[in-house]
Amino acid sequence: MFKIEKKSKKNQARIGVLRTAHGEILTPFFMPVATQGTIKHISGEDMRKLDASILLSNTYHLMLRPGEELIKKYGGLHQFMNWEKPILTDSGGFQVFSLAGNKSKTGKSLVQLTSDGVKFKSYIDGKKYDLTPEESLRIQMDLGVDIAVCLDECVALPAERKYVEQSVALTTHWAAKTRKYLEQVKKTSSARDYGVAKEKKQKHVPLVHAVIQGGLDKELRLRSLRELVAIGFDGYNIGGLSVGETAKEMYKVLDYLTPEMPEDKPRYLMGVGYPENIVEAVKRGVDMFDCVIPTREGRHGRMFAWKKNSKKIPMGNTCATKTFYETIAIGNAKFAKDFSPINKDSKLPELRNLSKAYLHYLFKIKEPLGSRLASLNNLEFYLDLMEEIRQNLKNEK
């Protein structure tokens, strides 16, 4: 399922291959975020042209709308999105975290956590839902995804240790329930029950990842890891980071956590981050990434570009900073008469043939095409970054 091809001699970085029902993925890799089954302003065809190898969607949003039953009836999320490559779905745990701070009109929390799962009301129509660990995995199986994630509780930082400790215990408890349900499914379900890998015409059980929690507490992080490894999963996600801590604090967690993680399983740092954060995490042995930054920044007219046409990524022991790339604010007046291409080296003709002046104009008139072009630029930068990292490691002597 996962094979390491080479390890760096400078640090913990490694390159490998992750095999899924819908194809192989070279690691380390970045997953463009198609939260609700779509990347804002971007099509699956765009992602094919940019050589994206996997997309990420979210269980919570898809279960609310359009509903997993409709997607399953259509043939699964791959068919619904017209995407033939792998898909990973988050469990909805982060949405539990993000909704916990919201209150109804009566002042009551919209979310209730129990040992059995999460009770919440839809932000769309107020309908009540009871999302258990078993139900979360069932929904992801009905979607027919390649990699599913256990339901977990993501704690906002800073937080009191007692609460973080309770969160770790709850996440482990839910992971155990997920694993038990998975084993039952493998024994009793037919291929029709939870999706088929279309090209192979055989029963398709997704790879299942568990989420390591514990905030910034070393003892709790390592406890969470040990407990999840004892249960046994196909991969391990590092959750609960990039939610309020500094980059230095995040790196400190990775410094003690990744060396203890199973070497033969993929390591996924959830929701991270800026390019320098990704480089630093790769150097610490992380294999998988996702983040909304490329498209979110693109929609606000901020674009990533290599500095001085150079792709020299700092993969050595020096801490990576914003030295190998720059951020362009296309709304600045200086771009109004800049007729250079948006990206002269892009795989996409629209980015090669259209000018920065035109893109500046699109943002000034609030034309959605501007957001699309800037988002495409940023997604290409991130995917290119991962390719450069892989080649850097491959060529290391």
Question: 328 and 199: one domain?
Answer: no
Question: 309 and 226: one domain?
Answer: no
Question: 210 and 121: one domain?
Answer: yes
Residue 360 pairs in a beta bridge with none
Question: 46 and 187: one domain?
Answer: yes
- Give the pLDDT confidence score for residue 323 in this predicted structure: 87
- Give the pLDDT confidence score for residue 199 in this predicted structure: 43
Asked if residue 259 is part of any domain, the answer here is no
Q: Provide the residue-wise pLDDT of the chain in tens; the chain has 397 residues.
A: 999 999 999 999 999 999 999 999 999 999 999 999 999 999 999 999 999 999 999 999 999 999 999 999 999 999 999 999 999 999 987 776 676 555 555 556 678 889 999 988 888 888 888 999 999 999 999 999 999 999 999 887 788 999 999 999 999 999 999 999 999 998 886 544 544 444 444 457 999 999 999 999 999 999 999 999 999 999 999 999 988 899 999 999 999 999 999 999 999 999 999 999 999 999 999 999 999 999 999 999 999 999 986 788 988 877 878 889 999 999 999 999 999 999 999 999 999 999 999 999 999 999 999 999 999 999 999 999 999 999 999 999 8
Question: 218 and 310: one domain?
Answer: no
Say if residues 175 and 183 touch (Cβ distance below 8 Å): no
Question: 216 and 315: one domain?
Answer: no
- Give the pLDDT confidence score for residue 189 in this predicted structure: 64
Q: Strand 29-31 and strand 288-290: pairing?
A: parallel
Question: 80 and 183: one domain?
Answer: yes
Task: Give the active site residues.
Answer: 90, 290
Query: Would the CA dihedral through 101, 106, 110, 115 be positive or negative?
Result: positive
- Give the pLDDT confidence score for residue 196 in this predicted structure: 44
Q: What is the domain-level CATH number for residue 73? A: 3.20.20.105
Asked if residue 182 is part of any domain, the answer here is yes
Q: Is 11 left (phi over 0), alpha (psi -120 to 50) or beta?
A: beta
- Give the pLDDT confidence score for residue 197 in this predicted structure: 44
Asked if residue 254 is part of any domain, the answer here is no
Nearest to 362 by CA among 381, 377, 347: 377
Question: 124 and 214: one domain?
Answer: yes
Ordered strands of the 117-121 beta sheet: 111-114, 117-121, 128-131
Asked if residue 264 is part of any domain, the answer here is no
Question: 226 and 333: one domain?
Answer: no
Asked if residue 352 is part of any domain, the answer here is yes
Identify the domain containing residue 133 by its residue range. 20-230+242-247
- Give the pLDDT confidence score for residue 97 in this predicted structure: 61
Number of domains in the chain: 2
- The pTM of the full predicted model, rounded to 2 decimals, is 0.94
Question: 223 and 333: one domain?
Answer: no
Please report the DSSP string for 278-342 in residue order. Answer: HHHHHHTT--EEE-SHHHHHHHTTEEEEEGGG------SSSPP-TTSEEEEETTSGGGTT--SBS
Question: 74 and 184: one domain?
Answer: yes
- Give the pLDDT confidence score for residue 103 in this predicted structure: 56
Asked if residue 55 is part of any domain, the answer here is yes
Asked if residue 313 is part of any domain, the answer here is yes
- Give the pLDDT confidence score for residue 192 in this predicted structure: 47
State both tokens at 330: 């296309």
- Give the pLDDT confidence score for residue 259 in this predicted structure: 98
Please write down the HEC assignment for all residues of 301-315.
Answer: CEEEEEHHHCCCCCC
Distance separating alpha carbons of residues 334 and 319, to the nearest angstrom? 32
Asked if residue 284 is part of any domain, the answer here is no
Question: 306 and 225: one domain?
Answer: no
